[in-house]
Structure 1
Amino acid sequence: MDLPPQQDELYPIAVLMDELKHDDVNLRLNAIRRLSTIALALGSDRTREELIPFLDESVEDEDEVLTVLSEELGGFVEYVGGPQYAHVLLSPLENLAAIEEPLVRDKAVESLNKIADELSQEQIEHHFIPLVLRLSKADWFTSKISATGLYTAAYPKASPALQTELRQAYTALVNDDTPMVRRQAATNLAKFVRIMPPDVIVAEMLPLFEKLAGDDQDSVRLLTVEVLIAVAETVPLERAEAHAKLVRSLRSLFSDNSWRVRYMVADRFEKVAKAVGETVVRADLAPAFVRLLKDSEAEVRTAISGQIPGFCRLVDHETLLKDVMPTIKELVTDQSQHVRAALGTQISGLAPILGKDETIQHLLPMFLDMLKDEFPDVRLHIISKLELVNDVIGIERLSQSLLPAIVQLAEDKQWRVRLAIIEYIPLLASQLGVEFFDQKLGDLCMSWLGDTVFSIREAATLNLKKLTEVFGVEWARQTIIPKILAMGEQTNYLYRMTTCFAITTLAPAVNMQVIEESILPMIDRLVEDQIPNIRFNVAKSYDVLITTLRQLPDDGTLKDLPAGQPTVTTAKGLELIQKHIVPNLAKLQNDPDLDVRYFAMVATNNAGDLMQTES
């Protein structure tokens, strides 16, 4: 910021005052965002004595402006002279923490916590804790809501007497008449509990949890699940009485009349199970898990479906097979497509838990049913997770069971399903072997090159490159490339376009001989194509080939090169560029179409740079 002569030392404050009073909100926002610049100009002393008091009086503005101010003050410690003076920032932030707009309050609380980390114990006790208590005892609920988010920052640096006072103040917030305050108290209680010793938790915090867990507002009760997890993880299992109280509350949450509370329990089920211990899992959580899988609300069944693999690792094998698996099987035909889709993302995770024989017996039939589901996301999720099953039962058994379904899905009307199948093919191919692949899946892979959706055609070309890396250059030369070249003779221009994409994508995976004998002659023929889109893609293909040929060894592919080897164009690569590519690019530079000429010029420049480098 350009400042005038120093005789007007109040200039930055005066300008800021004018801008903050301006009718234009954007101007006021810009003024707030320049506070650090103004503070630097003023120096730390004047920032503390003039700027901060001014800002303290300027909290009546648009919510957007106050939000930015709340955020800016969180990073202002260095401008007021460092941590020893950081407490001067608390006053304007206290005012902002009482604003009605939630976003302003949230940013103010975030900044207050950030500043609290830099305050000494003396500053915490003399400045920060009084602020927390004032907000906690204010008449208006907005201040109390903000206060609940400040206790965790204040408590560790407080003396024992002040810690007791803070716990008493938090108890008052938990018992507040306003549901919004109780909600926020429940939200922040989990963090507050984690910084306390077990004795204090059992004596004072556990009753607060029980009070919130029995609240008449379901919006409060659902937030107590995280508190339960925090208490269970912090209090040792040896404190049996405390854990018995937790289990009683947990049972009531499982069977709560509000589906939103049951949803929250379902969504955190694995964390709850790990926190409460093996005995409770066996006696209470396993039956509750089955009940939630059968819940009347689809949202609850969707949430608990996401917990299937994690929780099933914690139960004994007999319970899993006898009680849990039959209920999971029912979800395969659940009336809600969202439940079935959630199940599709998780069910494969059961394979490592069940083992080979039981995966074949229990899971494979479910997979086959879900691969026929009318909802595409269900099929998509099953396909994307098959690798977990493959690791357990082997690709041969998997392919025998699922290959018919995979072939059917390859022609699915939903292009995302076809795309998922394409991405799975290289893994399948590497496990099946070349002979099985050529017999069962080879024609399928080639058919994708003619798909009506560009993303499928693009993925199909990348698929061919990956398959070449799996089966080798000779396989590609004999099996793939002849079929691609045949597409270049088709009357439909999209096939000829796909030929350009395919052979260009394949080039880095093959060797110099294949490029010379097969790829370059095909592209040379397309130079004279009647469709301009084909011709400018030919120019782009030449550009890629120039880059490939400048790195390609005479007797190998790019993947054979050692990592970090410097690029040196071989004599053969240079010859192909000079004799085949450069003359055709010269023709394309005289093309009547502007785009063709442009891409030909780009490729020619690439070739020119190469020649200059090699010379």
Structure 2
Amino acid sequence: MNPEETDESLYPIAVLIDELKHEDVTLRLGAMRRLSTIALALGPERTREELIPFLEDSIDDEDEVLLALADELGNFVDYLGGPHYGHLLLPTLETLAAVEETVVRDKAVESIAKIGVVLSQQQIEEHYIPMVKRLSIGDWFTSRTSACGLYAPIYKLSTPATQEELRRLYAQLCHDDTPMVRRAAGTHLAKLTKQVSKDNVLSEMIPLFKNLAADEQDSVRLLTVESLIAIAEVLTPDENKTQILDTLRTMCTDKSWRVRYMIADKFVQLAKAVGADIVREELITAFVHLLKDGEAEVRTAAAGQVPGFSTLIDQDSVLREILPCVKELVTDTSQHVRAALATQISGLAPFLGKDNTIEHLLPLFLQLLKDDAPEVRLNIISKLDRVNEVIGIDLLSQSLLPAIVELAEDKQWRVRLAIIENIPLLAKQLGVEFFDEKLGNLCMSWLGDCVFSIREAATINLRKLTEVFGVEWAKQTIIPKILQMAQHQNYLYRMTTVFALTTLAHASNGETLREFILPTIGNLANDPIPNIRFNVAKSLEQIIPLARKANLSTAVNDQIKPALAKLAEDSDVDVRYFAQRATTAA
């Protein structure tokens, strides 16, 4: 539609405007989601002169509708005629930024920030900055909370005099009497720190950070970790020692576990920011304490940082300081700690090297593979490829293969699924002879699993194995076993045969299609179970393009089409439907 179109007969503008006023919340919400359509139909001029004033005057009282409005307005600049008119959206968003509902305020702040970066300096000085000032000194904490997120986006776009005023106003918010405002100030301090000059960081941002880091509310203190990192990235290693080291020490041993959790969760990022000297002299000891923390949540977060932090220190320190803690975490009382460690521990292998991995890590892997918690076993299995890259498949198979075979029959199906998904990787590195001897029968046994997801994954696994070892291997090793299943008394095995052959068809050549796959699926078209017959129809629909690509037009005409014609006259309605759909493809 032409953006300049003003003929209301071409679009029911009045109807949508009425919906915005309707008592039914669903109608108002739907209309709000179509604001861009309304604006497009009205054109820029009428949108500026009619729609925006209407929205300003009819702010809703339903949070859902307000959220939709705040979201829509963030992408509305073009509908007004471009950035030159972007400031017209600010009054409505200012109102939304002061409402009680947090998600509405957050979305309004996000939209204001999005608009602010496209405004000219004049618009910022005349419209954006006055709005920020009003919100910053508002009577209600809600407006002051929102104001905290509006400084950083336009700081560098402002004049030096305005920047000075913005820093002064932000300092007031950092000292606000209301904890929620100080929390917001702590949240956004890192973003503002990245915008101001280094001199201002030293003279103003660091004092504000230290004040918030010592706040009586732990909910404020925990939000200053990001600011600590932002400041550390600006300063030199020597400046970090003099300016923030004492505060860092205090935060690492804070009485609140939530603050220690935040430190642990960002530990690698923090260590990279402060410099090698502080890492070596202070943070190794601090990290060990976090790994041994009394709160499971802190140990969980610290466990996730083990590989990343280890790369920042020397190998001897890892073996001497970090690995003893890791060994303790393997038997931690918290399942969540062990699960986090299981995800990350393999990341140590490339850093420690082959000998140390074999000596120190392999016993821990084996212990985690036998963990009582399925999630722990699942996490360690999914990362085995990293270990294989370091120690080689021979040692990996000798040490871990018995545990892997045991897990392949785990009572938790998700663990069995994780094993299946890693089989192609292992197969590629084990080689065909070792695979056939140790894992071949195991892969076939999954086709008869009681869980459909496992049977489905097993068929996909066979296709991937065919891609690894080749079609000739499949013809000799797995296809004969699948064909035997086609004669099984249990219909689930016959159903799995259809799925397996259909999946294998995508990795097979024309000869295999003609000699093995099509005849077997064709025979199953006569199966007494309707579910099998309609899956045969779905299978043939997939195989038709593969057969044509392999120049098997004769097979399509002599085998596939007659089978589909018979299924299209089946007594079961579902069989007829899928057969007719496949016939269309033929």
TM-score for both structures, normalised by structure 1: 0.89
Counterpart in 2 of 1:484?
Answer: 482
Counterpart in 1 of 2:141?
Answer: 141
Are 1:591 and 2:563 an aligned pair? no
**Which of 489, 509, 513 in structure 1 is aligned with 2:507?**
509
Shift of 1:120: 1.6
For 2:420 and 2:183, the matched residues in 1 are separated by 48
Are 1:381 and 2:368 an aligned pair? no
- Deviations along 1:553-604, one digit per CA (max 9) or x if unpaired, are xxxxxxxxxxxxxxxx3xxx12222333333333333332222233333333
Partner AA of 2:344 in structure 1: Q
Counterpart in 1 of 2:581?
Answer: 602
Partner AA of 2:377 in structure 1: R
- Equivalent pair of 2:71/2:111 in contact (CA under 8 Å): yes
Shift of 1:502: 1.5
Shift of 1:405: 0.3
For 1:439 and 1:28, the matched residues in 2 are separated by 66
Shift of 1:473: 2.2
- Equivalent pair of 1:449/1:460 in contact (CA under 8 Å): yes
Range moving further from structure 2, 69-78 or 420-429 = 69-78
Correspondence list, 1:173-572, <5 A: 173-237=173-237, 240-552=238-550, 569=551
For 1:581 and 1:33, the matched residues in 2 are separated by 49
Counterpart in 2 of 1:168?
Answer: 168
Counterpart in 2 of 1:566?
Answer: none
- Deviations along 1:266-301, one digit per CA (max 9) or x if unpaired, are 110110000001011111111111111111111111
- Equivalent pair of 1:461/1:505 in contact (CA under 8 Å): yes
- Equivalent pair of 1:124/1:158 in contact (CA under 8 Å): yes
Shift of 1:463: 1.4
Partner AA of 1:330 in structure 2: E
Shift of 1:497: 1.4
**Which of 582, 588, 604 in structure 1 is aligned with 2:561?**
582
For 1:76 and 1:541, the matched residues in 2 are separated by 49
Partner AA of 2:448 in structure 1: G
- Equivalent pair of 2:135/2:143 in contact (CA under 8 Å): yes
Range moving further from structure 2, 532-541 or 249-258 = 532-541
Are 1:98 and 2:98 an aligned pair? yes
- Deviations along 1:290-323, one digit per CA (max 9) or x if unpaired, are 1111111111111111111111100111110001
- Deviations along 1:83-109, one digit per CA (max 9) or x if unpaired, are 333333322322222222222222222
Give SS of 2:255's match. coil
Give SS of 1:342's match. helix
Shift of 1:512: 3.0
Shift in alpha-carbon separation, 1:232–1:528, aligned structure 2, 3 A:
same
For 1:428 and 1:218, the matched residues in 2 are separated by 48
Range moving further from structure 2, 135-144 or 591-600 = 591-600
Partner AA of 2:576 in structure 1: R
- Deviations along 1:353-396, one digit per CA (max 9) or x if unpaired, are 00000000111101100110111111111111000011111011
Are 1:132 and 2:132 an aligned pair? yes
For 2:50 and 2:535, the matched residues in 1 are separated by 65
- Equivalent pair of 1:419/1:459 in contact (CA under 8 Å): yes
TM-score for both structures, normalised by structure 2: 0.93
Shift in alpha-carbon separation, 1:494–1:175, aligned structure 2, 3 A:
same
Range moving further from structure 2, 52-61 or 447-456 = 52-61
Shift in alpha-carbon separation, 1:410–1:140, aligned structure 2, 3 A:
same
- Equivalent pair of 1:345/1:385 in contact (CA under 8 Å): yes
Aligned length: 581
For 2:39 and 2:583, the matched residues in 1 are separated by 55
Aligned-residue RMSD, C-alpha = 2.3
Range moving further from structure 2, 333-342 or 79-88 = 79-88
Shift of 1:197: 1.2
Partner AA of 1:498 in structure 2: T
- Deviations along 1:310-358, one digit per CA (max 9) or x if unpaired, are 1110011111000101110111111111111111111111110000000
For 1:35 and 1:540, the matched residues in 2 are separated by 44
Gap regions ≥5 residues in structure 1: 6-10, 553-568, 608-615
- Deviations along 1:214-257, one digit per CA (max 9) or x if unpaired, are 000000000000000000112233xx345433111111111111
Range moving further from structure 2, 465-474 or 413-422 = 465-474
Shift of 1:441: 1.0
For 1:85 and 1:597, the matched residues in 2 are separated by 61
For 1:427 and 1:4, the matched residues in 2 are separated by 63
- Deviations along 1:167-194, one digit per CA (max 9) or x if unpaired, are 1111111011100000000001000000
For 2:433 and 2:319, the matched residues in 1 are separated by 38
Shift of 1:164: 1.3
Are 1:70 and 2:70 an aligned pair? yes
Shift in alpha-carbon separation, 1:530–1:271, aligned structure 2, 3 A:
same
Give SS of 2:506's match. helix
Gap regions ≥5 residues in structure 2: none
For 2:196 and 2:279, the matched residues in 1 are separated by 26
Segments ≥4 residues shifted beyond 6 Å: 14-17
Partner AA of 2:557 in structure 1: Q
- Equivalent pair of 1:202/1:242 in contact (CA under 8 Å): no
For 1:436 and 1:81, the matched residues in 2 are separated by 69
For 1:604 and 1:466, the matched residues in 2 are separated by 29
Range moving further from structure 2, 378-387 or 482-491 = 482-491
Shift of 1:156: 1.2
Shift in alpha-carbon separation, 1:209–1:463, aligned structure 2, 3 A:
same
Partner AA of 1:606 in structure 2: A
Give SS of 1:550's match. helix
Range moving further from structure 2, 458-467 or 283-292 = 458-467
Partner AA of 2:440 in structure 1: G
For 2:53 and 2:460, the matched residues in 1 are separated by 63
For 2:85 and 2:560, the matched residues in 1 are separated by 71
Shift in alpha-carbon separation, 1:362–1:597, aligned structure 2, 3 A:
same
Shift in alpha-carbon separation, 1:491–1:56, aligned structure 2, 3 A:
closer
Give SS of 2:244's match. helix
Range moving further from structure 2, 441-450 or 531-540 = 531-540
For 1:291 and 1:69, the matched residues in 2 are separated by 48
Shift in alpha-carbon separation, 1:447–1:172, aligned structure 2, 3 A:
same
For 1:489 and 1:287, the matched residues in 2 are separated by 65
For 1:40 and 1:540, the matched residues in 2 are separated by 45
- Deviations along 1:432-480, one digit per CA (max 9) or x if unpaired, are 1222111111111111111111111111112112222222222222221
Shift in alpha-carbon separation, 1:356–1:80, aligned structure 2, 3 A:
same
- Equivalent pair of 1:232/1:243 in contact (CA under 8 Å): no
Shift of 1:549: 1.5
Shift in alpha-carbon separation, 1:191–1:583, aligned structure 2, 3 A:
same
For 2:134 and 2:334, the matched residues in 1 are separated by 50
Shift in alpha-carbon separation, 1:96–1:597, aligned structure 2, 3 A:
closer
Give SS of 2:386's match. helix
- Equivalent pair of 2:6/2:43 in contact (CA under 8 Å): no
Range moving further from structure 2, 365-374 or 512-521 = 512-521
Give SS of 1:370's match. helix
